[in-house]
Amino acid sequence: MIFNFEEKLSDSPFVDVIWRNHSESGGPFISVAMSRWQMVVTRYEGKTKLTVRGPETKATAAYCPAGAEHFGILFKPGAVMPPLPASLLRDGMVDLPEARSSSFWLNGSAWLFPDYENADTFVDRLVRDGLLVREPIVEAALQPGLQEVSIRSVQRRFLKATGLTRGALSQIDRARYATMLLQGGASILDTVDLAGYADQPHLTRSLKRFVGQTPAQIISKKEAEQLSFMSRLRHFPG
């Protein structure tokens, strides 16, 4: 195993989970599709950087060196950073410029790198400075019975805020949920039913696209590859 993950819930209404890991050994892993954007702080060989990562629409191959430490803030759908909206970062990322060894530049100001312990305080400051806001239509669109807004307007604002269509967000969340079920011991047929897939081929196509593995590979300890962060606290069933 490359990573040892730890996570916790946040007190912030803008954040889903806060996570961290340490790579015990270097090696390849699969970066699983992700419907949320996140901020990730990486510490490696005495260097620190903060990366804003957009949503990921498919599984990709990645590599992590031994001894690297990562800490991430995973934001809820509808949480928007106006200078770097998720719509501009889909399947991409931006490393914020370093100010000093302990700080980075954001919106013309130097900010201390946050850590796992003070993440909520860091998020609160982003909100106070207007660098983190909410797009209320996203939360409303994720609920049944949306009223008073045209379908086209909802789609446009949803895509701008999240970087994804409502359908794509749901598909990614469902695939991650199915992966958690399989890793937790559910059978393939039970996973089809619990995650709402039409049949086993539908599940297989989804997982190959978004997770990079078939259901059988996820279940098999011999064939299963290391996956990127998969929250045990939020399953995002969609």
Q: What is the pLDDT at residue 19?
A: 97
Whether 115 and 20 map to the same domain: the answer is yes
Question: Residue 145 falls within a domain, yes or no?
Answer: no
* DSSP letter string, 16-81: EEEEEEEESS-EEEEE--BSS-EEEEEEETTEEEEEEE--BSS-EEEEE-TT-EEEEEEEPTTEE-
pTM: 0.91
Whether 128 and 170 map to the same domain: the answer is no
Q: What is the pLDDT at residue 236?
A: 65
Question: Residue 41 falls within a domain, yes or no?
Answer: yes
Which of 1-5, 221-225, 228-232 has the lowest average pLDDT?
Answer: 221-225
Interatomic CA distance for residues 13 and 139, integer angstroms: 12
Q: What is the pLDDT at residue 146?
A: 55
Whether 120 and 33 map to the same domain: the answer is yes
Question: Residue 190 falls within a domain, yes or no?
Answer: yes
Q: What is the CATH number of the domain that holds 191?
A: 1.10.10
Q: Which domain holds residue 106?
A: 3-133
Residue range 32-85, pLDDT digits in tens: 999 999 999 999 999 999 999 999 999 999 999 999 999 999 999 999 999 999
Whether 123 and 173 map to the same domain: the answer is no
Domain count, the chain: 2
Cβ-contact 195, 237 below 8 angstroms: yes
Whether 90 and 14 map to the same domain: the answer is yes
Whether 40 and 112 map to the same domain: the answer is yes
